[in-house]
Structures are given as C-alpha cells and as structure tokens.
Amino acid sequence: MPKFAANLSFLFKEYPFLERFAEAKACGFEAVEVLFPYEEPASEVAKRMADLNLKMVLINTPPPNYTGGERGFAAVPGLEDRFRKDFKRALRYAQFLGAAHMHIMAGKAKGLVALETFKKNLAWAAAEAPTMSLTIEPINPIDMPGYFLDDFDLAIEVLDSVAELNLGLQFDAYHAQIITGDAMLAWEKYAPYVRHIQIAGPPDRHEPIKGLVDYPAFFRAVDASGYQGWVSAEYIPKKRTEEGLDWFRQAQ
C-alpha cells in the first residue's frame, strides 16, 4: 500500500490548527501537508512536527491563506512581480519546514497570454528553487470556476514545454475523476509525470472509499507503478475525522 499523509487543512478540523498534528500522529499518520500554513509562525509548526517526528509533505504558494481572495497568480498576466515576491516568501517557509513539495497555484486566467505567463513563471520558479520539488495541479472547474489549469492535457503541455526536472504533476484523483470522468484511466495516462498524489471521494469530496473511484484498485495501481511518494488524504470528513478513517486502517 502507498504511504498516506493527512492534509491538516481538511482533516482534524475539530481541533485548533496546532493541535491537529498530534491528532494525526495518534491516528497513525507519519506525514502531513498543509495548504496554507502561513498564519502560524514557521518555528511553531516546525516544533510540533519535530516533537511528533512528522514529515511535511507539501504546502501551497502563494501565501497567505487565499480565503476570499485569489487562487494564485502564476498564470495571471501582469502579476509576475507579485508571483515572484510571494513565491520567495513561500519558499523560505517551505525550506524551514522541510517540505517535500511546493504546489504552485495558477490562478484565474484564460487564453494564450495566460499560458505563456504560466510557463515563464514556472521556468523562473524552477530556476529560483532548483532543489525544491515543484508541482502544478489540474483543479476541476466546478470546485474552482475560472481556474486556469483545469485540464490534464494542458498540464502536460506546460510540463513538456517548461521541461524542468524539479517540476512535476500533482495528481488529485478526486479532481481527475470530475475532469476526465475516469480517474483510473487518467492515472494510467499521466502517472509518469506525477510527483505527488491526493485523494478524496467524488462527487462530494468525502472519504476515499470505493465509489466513483475504486480506491482499493487505485492504490494497487499506484503500487504497481513504482510510485514512492506520499498519498495525501485531502477530503471533507462526513463526521469527525477519526470516525471516517476505516479506509486508512484497512490499508495498513
């Protein structure tokens, strides 16, 4: 079975943010990810992780938390300076926490100028952070209308064009199912590009159990592919997080 991480922006929200690390550890997770951890001092987050021997898998850029704001700027023409400034801030945070990956959010934009802006910003970021693994993630247009990167073939076009070794695909099986209609087929097609995996159960983004996506089969396919990274649980628990972790316990 793959190695599973807990997304603390989604799971264990019954607890204050800094308490979620201990709850994740108590439930058996050895790694976590946090989409936007910037509201807490990096030193405090790092201390919690060190005390619990937890790994940080991924954080998002840009900071700070985008609640009520934009979903990134990497593909937005005219905001290149803001993208670079925010990227540098997020990079410092990621490096302090020892994050394995940084997800670069594209933002809301459309058209060829946005595509070229996205490519140029990604090439700059890859050169700015040559030792950091960077990811881009297709996000379905129902959850995030207007988001630039809403298609897997578009993501592959971008990755092939930028062609940087530290830039790869973030594959969320939930988004893949909604975008393509077949997450398993999408995995088979795009697995060679994948740097990081996230999971949730479509259509309501709840626990990753067998349904529109056959998750036991998906986990077997991930294992068969030779993927060595983490699979992060990024879903909305139906009840308390602990009550919905049978999928995780059965996978151990």
Of 165, 73, 152, 156, nearest to 117 by C-alpha is 73
Q: What is the pLDDT of residue 64?
A: 59
Catalytic annotation, pick one of 80, 128, 137, 188: 137
Of 196, 189, 3, 216, nearest to 101 by C-alpha is 196
* The pLDDT of residue 67 is above 70: no
Which pTM does this prediction carry? 0.96
In angstroms, the CA 108 to CA 123 distance is 19
- Token pair for residue 122? 């990604």
Q: What is the pLDDT of residue 250?
A: 86
Query: Tens of pLDDT along 184-228?
Result: 999 999 999 999 999 999 999 999 998 899 999 999 999 999 999
Catalytic annotation, pick one of 40, 80, 234, 242: 234
Q: Which domain holds residue 228?
A: 3-250
Query: Tens of pLDDT along 114-157?
Result: 999 999 999 999 999 999 999 999 999 999 999 999 999 999 99
Please confirm, yes or no, whether 157 is among the known catalytic residues: no
The CATH number given to whatever domain includes residue 213 is: 3.20.20.150
Q: Indicate the average pLDDT of the chain.
A: 95
Q: Is the peptide bond before 208 cis (omega within 30 degrees of 0)?
A: no
Number of domains in the chain: 1
Please confirm, yes or no, whether 207 is among the known catalytic residues: no
In angstroms, the CA 252 to CA 237 distance is 19
* The pLDDT of residue 66 is above 60: no
